[in-house]
Amino acid sequence: MDGTVDGFRYGAVTPVAAYLMACLGGALGLRCIVRSLLDTRSRSAGWLALGAASIGCGIWTMHFIAMIGFHVEETRVRYDAATTVLSLVVAVAVVGVGVFLVGHRGTSGTTLAIAGTVTGLGVAGMHYLGMAALRLDGDVRYDPVGVALSVLIAIGAATAALWSAVTIRGFLTSLGASLVMGVAVSGMHYTGMAAVSVHVHDTTGGTWAGDSPLSLLLPMLAGPVVFLLLAGVVVMFDPLLVLGERSSAARPGRGADSVASYRPSGREPVAPTRER
């Protein structure tokens, strides 16, 4: 029999909380990537890694907060812990590939297309790997059109995020970009969920392997959420990271000319020309 699927068991609480976490991860990640472009090459890798981890944790946290609201009326929903953790690793790793590509090679058409496609496919892979962690007394089925659309949204969202990461420097514009990114990531998730149907085997209420959403997801979400909060502390206590080019003008040897001379395309910086 077909199960009654409900993705909003707790009303607007889970989608709103999920959206906010996606925005937080995106905002921190974008600011960390900007910071890497304003720093020396010897330290830029650390900022890029922090940015990738922030975006990856934000996307993964968004997914599983939203999944707390996923409910099938005829059967209990549980999760496999190992697969759930693996989906977090995939999220951070694939975002890292895209971030390092554009961080070191810039936003040329080819680089951006490759980085956006790889990252988008990875984000979609994280989503469906997280769905593979579902354990219920039935079969989960997908509408191919909905799946394809969710993958295209993921690729578009990833490409836009990577482009904005190395081209948008202002704090407010980055904040706006993170809000748009949150909409895109949430849209990808709920588009994929709209493609889900469940064929229930029976309604006897038998037990099966896996942990319940509240007993597994809430403790696991604590780690990425704490990480994002700590990354937020780093942002707040680093004026250059928060303000970007503006504050760099006040730093000795890191003036606005040095930032303006940066070319995010892998070429060497152009020496600034000063008037006599």
Asked if 130 and 63 count as a contact pair (C-beta separation under 8 A), the reply is yes
In a domain, 269, yes or no: no
Question: Of 141, 131, 142, 168, nearest to 245 (Cα)?
Answer: 168
Domain membership of residue 20 (yes or no) is yes
Q: What percent of the chain has pLDDT over 90?
A: 18
Q: How many domains does the chain have?
A: 1
Q: What is the pTM of this model?
A: 0.78
Closest of 26, 48, 52 to residue 175, by C-alpha? 26
Full DSSP string of 186-228: HHHHHHHHHTEEEEE---S----SSB-HHHHHHHHHHHHHHHH
Q: Is residue 42 part of a domain?
A: yes
d(CA 27, CA 58): 9
- Tens-digit pLDDT profile for residues 105-155: 776 788 888 988 988 888 898 999 989 988 888 889 999 999 999 999 999
In a domain, 2, yes or no: no
What average pLDDT does range 86-91 have in this prediction? 90
Asked whether residue 266 is assigned to any structural domain, the reply reads no
The helix/strand/coil state of 43 is helix
Containing structural domain, residue 25: 11-260
When the pLDDT of each residue in the chain is averaged and rounded to a whole number, the result is 78
185: Cβ contacts below 8 Å, ≥ 6 apart? 22, 26, 58, 59, 62, 123, 154, 157
Kindly state whether residue 103 falls inside one of the protein's structural domains.
yes
